[in-house]
Amino acid sequence: MPERQRGRPRAFDREHAILEAARLFWRRGYSGTSTRDLTTTLGLSTSSLYAAFGSKAGLFEEAVRTYAERYREIHQQAVAEKDIRSVIDRLLVDSAHEFTQPGDTHPGCLINSAVMIDSPSTLDTTAYIAELRHSNEQTLLERIQQAIRDGDLPADTDAAALTKLIQAIWDGLSVQSNLGTAREDLLTTARLARELICPQVTSPMSRSSAAVGRVHE
């Protein structure tokens, strides 16, 4: 009897594998996701998974870094805006969009999910997330301090407290997205937060126009 021909193995797509693994970790937690779950979902043998990622822990760390690093980019892009209202708007609005990316391209926000609480302390993921949070907060703090120097915020503004407030709102949007809050609802919250934080703040261009108007009065 002729030997049965084996099917052609599925090509390995690392990016897709990381996305699928991140989805599993998001739904089940680190401890609740077994190596068998991963190999079944990714279509890989255990040896192939280990060859690609080193271990289940290695795959988890790469998944977190892949999707969490986007939030560093959002902070950096936001602080490049010319006025503080735009900084806050872009930071919160862009993050709300990122938190609610379509499920076929994004696993959800891992930073504030139960996945991070569930991850064992032996992984360096906790240290990475702590560094990411500190980096993002420092980036925003420096931009707020610049806004105070430029007169874009009142001189008596507590830069550290304002930074903490904005980051707390950011965290809240992340948690709400993990609970299934719709994108439009998150965007409404983000924009309301901006208005409540700096109702008296106008863009430099608006202030210049107002000053010119007063000169001509």
pLDDT for 76 equals 97
pLDDT for 12 equals 79
Write the single-letter amino acid at 217: E
pLDDT for 127 equals 82
For 121, residues 6+ apart whose C-beta sits below 8 A from its C-beta are: none
Number of other residues whose CB lies within 10 A of the CB of residue 111: 20
Segments of the chain with pLDDT less than 50: 1-9, 203-217
pLDDT for 1 equals 43
pLDDT for 116 equals 63
pLDDT for 26 equals 80
Structural domains in the chain, CATH included, are 69-202 (1.10.357.10)
Kind plus residue range of the DSSP H or E element containing 166: helix 159-178
Q: Give dist(CA 182, CA 175) in Å, integer.
A: 12
pLDDT for 209 equals 45
Q: What is the pLDDT of residues 144-170, one digit of tens each?
A: 999 999 999 999 999 999 999 999 999
Q: What is the pTM of this model?
A: 0.75
| Residue appearing with tokens 């999707």 | 67
pLDDT for 25 equals 86
pLDDT for 206 equals 45
Give the 3-state DSSP-derived string for 99-152, with helices as H, strands as E and coil as C: HCCCCCCCCCCCCCCHHHHHCCCCCCHHHHHHHHHHHHHHHHHHHHHHHHHCCC
pLDDT for 213 equals 43
CB burial string 73-83: b at 16+ within 10 A, e below: ebbeebbebeb
